[in-house]
Amino acid sequence: MENYKIIFQDIYKSFGDKAVLQGLNLSIRRGETLVILGRSGCGKSVSLKILLGLLYPDRGKVYLDGEEITGMSEKKLVEVRKKIGMLFQGSALFDSLTVGENVAFALAEHSNRTADEIAEIVDNNLKFVEMEGTVNLMPSELSGGMKKRVALARAMAYQPEILLYDEPTTGLDPITATTINALIRKTQREYGVTSIVVTHELDSGFSVADRAAVMESGRILEIGTIAEIKGSTNEFVRTFIAGAK
Amino acid sequence: MCACLPGAREYRRSVRKNQALNDHFHWFLDFLHHVHGITEMFGRSLVLSFIKPFYLRDTIEQMYHIGVKSLSIVLMTSIFTGLVLALQFGHEMSVYGAKMYTSSVLIVSLVRELGPVIISLVVAGRVGAGITAELGSMAVTEQIDAMRALGTNPYKKLAATRFLALSIMLPLLVAIGDFCGMLGGWIVSVTTLGISTDYYWSNAIHYLFFSDIFAGLLKPFIFAMAIASISCYHGFSVTGGTKGVGEATTRSVVVSSILIFILDFLITKVTLGAV
Ligand SMILES: Nc1ncnc2c1ncn2[C@@H]1O[C@H](COP(=O)(O)OP(=O)(O)OP(=O)(O)O)[C@@H](O)[C@H]1O
Ligand SMILES: [Mg+2]
């Protein structure tokens, strides 16, 4: 238990009659980068949202640092969420705010830092994701890859212990995807965060992760090192890997 | 927690068994669902308006968007309402030889009834639709999730600020609109009814009581809370992409408009009896 930063324990979640998560069990070690691979619609984004407390599971428990977070009040969840940064599938930048205001959002909301201090952190974060000089642009003026980078800068602004990446490279050209993957590794290296990367792109996933998990129909079919997953005997995992090639 | 699951399954089975019944009544269940959602949004916005942090900047920004930017449409509609009403009243009342009283009838009907209702309808169309569309597109692009993920309560930052701004601005807009309506009536009275400027205004003020002003400003205050709750509720609960945003916006304006008429009836009934 101590080695694990995050534990999903037997999670069930349905929307109406549609069962999405059906007994999800998954443990993420402190400081590792775990990639969750799975087909579109298997429940990857829903799992991340449950971890953030944005969705509530019908059954099961989620632990963070050994503390159960399912069933916590919205107020207590705020403290949990400050530990987690999330890069949303569609970036989800606030389109009425500038790039700078987006990155500054959590700092302006929760910290007592002065405007100058915040501006400095924003500059540093934008530099980290190689987006310096974009502070005053609006999100609508950015390309998809640029949005993802700004969203990463925003997620990192509060120096979270955990980073969740929902499809960080989907829909990007291979070169941009490679730079995003490099960023994920750099973040991991420099900040020592625990990360979960969700994707259906095998190569991207394997290139950033320490371990991989294959998900199907709301369950984890197989979890292990990348070599173990590649050599899996599970029928579905093999077809998934073959199909993705 | 597990104990509620068999219950849920039971419920689903009974729902399926009563499918025919369910089909028949599903609009009613939907209706109750929306009433619950809107009431909840109202309660949340009201309570959160009094809890820190206060988001003063966001509220002022909303007051500008809601109030100042609605001024031109409010001016236009209320001046023309005043013009038309004065023509109608003047014409009808001259039959009875009472056209001198046009301004007294005009001011009471404007302040008590037509000002609040017409301007609130206009604002429900302009501002209510805008709120639903904005919050709805934020919901479908996960911006509301992102806000929660960053530790901010979107009901506070987005709903309560709009609720407060609308509750302050709508009564103000109505007061301005009432005055413009009276200006419209004055133009007609002087030009076509042959009533003097002095007589028009002194007669109007003579017949305007405090209770009229009270009822006339209470209405837009309550309508504002209704419009804000309805449009925020519909915005937050959008699903199904951009098409969903359009549908929610339409529904939000329709529901607000109907509720304005219902509330207007109720408030009139109460205030006429009481004051
Ligand atoms: N808020 C919601 N309401 C209803 N259904 C939902 C909701 N969120 C997700 N779903 C459904 O749950 C299922 C899983 O969704 P999820 O977003 O987790 O998929 P995913 O694994 O992330 O897929 P993708 O790779 O396409 O992003 C989908 O069928 C989706 O329609
Ligand atoms: Mg997804």
Write the pLDDT tens digit of every residue in B44-98: 999 999 998 889 999 999 999 999 999 999 999 999 999 999 999 999 988 888 8
| pLDDT at site A3 | 82
The alpha carbon of residue A239 is apart from the nearest alpha carbon of chain B, in Å, by 32
Assigned domain for A193 exists: yes
Query: Does the pLDDT at position A82 exceed 80?
Result: yes
Task: Take residue B237 and report the two structure tokens written for it.
Answer: 């609960």
- Report how far residue B156's alpha carbon sits from residue A162's, in angstroms, rounded to the nearest whole number: 26
Average pLDDT, chain A: 92
Nearest to A161 by CA among A93, A225, A56, A86: A86
State which of A15, A40, A88, A164 you would mutate to test the pocket of ligand 1, scoring each by most atoms of that ligand within 8 A of its C-beta.
Answer: A15
- Report how far residue A16's alpha carbon sits from residue B190's, in angstroms, rounded to the nearest whole number: 65
Provide residues of B within 8 Å CB-CB of chain A.
1-2, 5, 8, 12, 53, 138, 141-143, 145-153
Q: Name which residue sits closest to atom 2 of ligand 1, judged by CA.
A: A15
For residue A79, how far is its CA from the centre of ligand 2 (angstroms)?
Answer: 25
Residue A161 neighbours by CB distance under 10 Å? 17
Assigned domain for A24 exists: no
What pTM did the predictor assign? Answer: 0.89
Task: Take residue A101 and report the two structure tokens written for it.
Answer: 């205001």
Q: Name which residue sits closest to atom 25 of ligand 1, judged by CA.
A: A40
Average pLDDT, chain B: 90
Query: Does the pLDDT at position A172 exceed 80?
Result: yes
Q: Give B139's contacts (C-beta < 8 A, 6+ positions apart).
A: B235, B236, B237, B238, B239
Question: Contacts of residue A106 in chain B, CB cutoff 8 Å?
Answer: 150-152
Assigned domain for A16 exists: no
ipTM of this model? Answer: 0.92
The alpha carbon of residue B180 is apart from the nearest alpha carbon of chain A, in Å, by 34
| pLDDT at site B274 | 58
Assigned domain for A4 exists: no
| pLDDT at site B118 | 97
CATH of the domain at A183: 3.40.50.300
Around ion ligand 2, residues with a beta carbon closer than 5 Å are A 45, 89
Structural domain for A157, as ranges: 31-59+73-244
pLDDT tens readout for residues B210-263: 999 999 999 999 999 999 999 999 999 999 888 999 999 999 999 999 999 999
Protein residues with CB under 6 Å of any ligand 1 atom:
A 15, 20, 38, 40-46, 89, 200
| pLDDT at site B200 | 94
Q: Which ligand is closest to the CA of A88, given by its number?
A: 2
Band (A203; pLDDT cuts 50, 70, 90): confident
The three-class DSSP label of residue A2 is: coil
- Of the partner residues A74, A88, A105, the one whose CB lies closest to the CB of residue B153: A74
Domain count, chain A: 1
Assigned domain for A88 exists: yes
Question: Contacts of residue B141 in chain A, CB cutoff 8 Å?
Answer: 90, 92, 95
Question: Contacts of residue B53 in chain A, CB cutoff 8 Å?
Answer: 109
Nearest residue in chain B measured CA to CA from A17: B12
State which of A44, A198, A199, A215 you would mutate to test the pocket of ligand 1, scoring each by most atoms of that ligand within 8 A of its C-beta.
Answer: A44
Question: Contacts of residue A81 in chain B, CB cutoff 8 Å?
Answer: 148-151
- Report how far residue B128's alpha carbon sits from residue B159's, in angstroms, rounded to the nearest whole number: 12
Sheet of A59-64: strand order equals A18-29, A4-15, A59-64, A67-68
Q: Name which residue sits closest to atom 9 of ligand 1, judged by CA.
A: A46
Assigned domain for A172 exists: yes
- Rounded percentage of chain B residues whose pLDDT exceeds 70: 91
Assigned domain for A147 exists: yes
Q: What is the mean pLDDT of residues A239-245?
A: 78
Q: Which ligand is closest to the CA of A16, given by its number?
A: 1
For residue A41, how far is its CA from the centre of ligand 2 (angstroms)?
Answer: 7
DSSP 8-state secondary structure symbol assigned to residue A54: S
**CB pairs < 8 Å spanning A and B:** 58
For residue A89, the ligand 1 atom closest to its alpha carbon is 27
Counting other chains too, the contacts that B240-248 makes at CB distance below 8 Å and 24 or more residues apart are: B240/B140, B241/B140, B242/B137, B242/B140, B244/B136, B244/B140, B245/B132, B245/B133, B245/B136, B245/B137, B245/B140, B248/B132, B248/B133, B248/B136
Band (A243; pLDDT cuts 50, 70, 90): confident
- Report how far residue B68's alpha carbon sits from residue B179's, in angstroms, rounded to the nearest whole number: 16
Assigned domain for A120 exists: yes
